[in-house]
Amino acid sequence: MTSVKRKHEIMVSLRTDSEIVLTRSFDAPRDLVFEAFTKPEHIRQWWGCDESELKVCEMDFREGGKWRHVIAMKGKGEFAFSGVYKEIIRPELLVYTSIFEMFPANVAVESVGFEENDGITTLTCTSKYPSRQVRDAVIASGMETGAAQSYDRLERLVQTFVK
C-alpha cells in the first residue's frame, strides 16, 4: 500500500502544560472555511474521524448559544461532545467551551482562529484544558489522528465550494 502525502499537514504542539494547539492550512478563502466550520449542514460532512459518523449536530450559533455533537464509532459506541459559544467574530475567531460528556467536569476552552493569505486559510485551534493530566489524556486518546482525518475531510469539503 502506498501512502498519499497530504498537501497540508496538521501540526500539533503543546504550548503550555494545559494546552494543545492544532494548526492546519486549507486551499480556500477564509470565509468558506469559516462557513464550513460553523454551519450544521457542512459540519455533518467532516466532523469526526474516518471511522465515525456524526449522528447528532445541534447548534445555536450565537454567543451564549449551545452546541452538541454525537458521533458513532464503528464497534465502539456513541460519544457526545457539547459546549457553549463564548465569542464569535465572523470570519476570524470562534471561542467556545468543549465538553466530552463522558467526563463532564473536564471543560476545555477552544479558540479557533482563521487567517487568510493569498487564498490559503490557516486555522489555529488552541484547546485549554483544566490540567496537564486532562491534556495528556486527550493526547493519549488518539486525538491527533482523529483531528488530522477530520481536517482532511474539511479540506475535501471546502474544495467543493471553490470549484
CATH assignment of the domain containing 91: 3.30.530.20
Residue 53 lies inside a defined structural domain of this protein: no
Res. 3: pLDDT tops 90:
no
Whole-number pLDDT of residue 163 = 72
Q: Above pLDDT 70, what percent of the chain?
A: 96
Cα–Cα distance measured from residue 36 to residue 56, given in angstroms and rounded to the nearest whole number: 16
Considering its fold, how many domains does the chain have in total? 1
Whole-number pLDDT of residue 162 = 85
Residue 19 lies inside a defined structural domain of this protein: yes
User: In sequence order, what DSSP letters do the residues of 2-71 get, joined into one string?
Assistant: PPPPPSS--EEE--STTEEEEEEEESS-HHHHHHHHH-HHHHHHHSS-TTEEEEEEEE--STT-EEEEEE
Whole-number pLDDT of residue 5 = 42
Residue 62 lies inside a defined structural domain of this protein: no
Residue 95 lies inside a defined structural domain of this protein: yes
Give the pLDDT confidence of 94-147 residue by residue, as tens digits. Answer: 999 999 999 999 999 999 999 999 999 999 999 999 999 999 999 999 999 999
Res. 1: pLDDT tops 50:
no
Give the pLDDT confidence of 52-100 residue by residue, as tens digits. Answer: 999 999 999 999 999 999 999 989 999 999 999 999 999 999 999 999 9
Q: Which of 23, 32, 90 is nearest to 61 (CA)?
A: 90
Res. 6: pLDDT tops 80:
no
Residue 69 lies inside a defined structural domain of this protein: no
Question: The domain containing residue 129 runs over which residues?
Answer: 11-45+87-162
CA dihedral sign of residues 47, 40, 129, 14: positive
Whole-number pLDDT of residue 4 = 41
Residue 71 lies inside a defined structural domain of this protein: no
Residue 82 lies inside a defined structural domain of this protein: no
Residue 5 lies inside a defined structural domain of this protein: no
Give the pLDDT confidence of 27-48 residue by residue, as tens digits. Answer: 999 999 999 999 999 999 999 9
Write 93-99 long-range contacts (CB < 8 A, 24+): 94/37, 94/38, 96/67, 98/127
